[in-house]
Amino acid sequence: SLFRTWVHDPVATFSLCLLARAYDVAFLLVRRFSSLEVTVGFLMHMDKLVRLLESPVFVHLRLQLLDVESPSHVHLLKSCYGILMLLPQSDAFRTLNDRLAAVCNLRDNLGAAPLSSAAGAGHGDLSTPGLEVEGLLRRFDEVTELHRSATRRATEGREG
């Protein structure tokens, strides 16, 4: 699967989940980003991703943000807010924040129920059919640890 190939770049992996409409997996990845070292390169990739989200490639995602009653809406919205929380306040932050504010305004105007704090919190409600989600996330964690170990060894080699 592409996931196993792209897993070496967290932002690319997240982008693949968005393209594949595996929003539950994207949400779980965003949660794992808190354990990653947030480097300038990582933030630059996130910035590029936000710009891509505004391109025609992701028009389906932007339109799915309007479908507030869809079961995947909670994961999609939380994934987007997760990106927002990772970004420093910049043009990309403002662009994504404006997009998400419009979605929340729509939801409020439609009188849709607010997002449940429990919705999407666990693994029991994952809904992407045909994916062995736990195995994919395990692979992501393994590769992340391999990269972390390689970085540590390289740093120790330069210091020693």
DSSP string computed for 26-73: HHHHHHHHTTS---HHHHHHHHHHHHHHTSGGGHHHHHHTT-TTSTTH
What pLDDT was estimated at residue 127?
56
Under the banding of pLDDT at 50, 70 and 90, the label for residue 96 is very high
Q: Taken in order 23, 24, 25, 30, is the CA torsion positive or negative?
A: positive
Longest Cα separation, the chain: 62
pTM equals: 0.78
Domain count, the chain: 1
Residue 83, judged by CB atoms within 10 A of its CB (0-12, 13-18, 19+), counts as: buried
Find the mean pLDDT for residues 36-64. Answer: 94
Residue with tokens 């210091």: 159
User: Cα–Cα distance between 112 and 107 in angstroms, integer?
Assistant: 5
- Cβ proximity of 72 and 80 under 8 Å: no
Q: Is pLDDT above 70 for 100?
A: yes
HSE-CB at 76 with a 13 A cutoff on CA atoms is: 26
Q: Taken in order 134, 136, 138, 140, is the CA torsion positive or negative?
A: negative
Both structure tokens of 91? 């043009």
pLDDT in tens, 5-19: 888 899 999 999 999
pLDDT in tens, 113-154: 655 544 444 444 555 666 788 888 888 888 888 888 887 888
pLDDT in tens, 57-69: 999 999 999 998 8
What pLDDT was estimated at residue 113?
63
Q: In this structure, what are the phi and psi dihedrals at residue 66, rounded to the nearest 5 degrees?
A: -80, -20
User: Cα–Cα distance between 100 and 102 in angstroms, integer?
Assistant: 5
Range of the domain at 152: 2-159
Find the mean pLDDT for residues 64-81. Answer: 92
What pLDDT was estimated at residue 130?
66
Residue 12, judged by CB atoms within 10 A of its CB (0-12, 13-18, 19+), counts as: middle
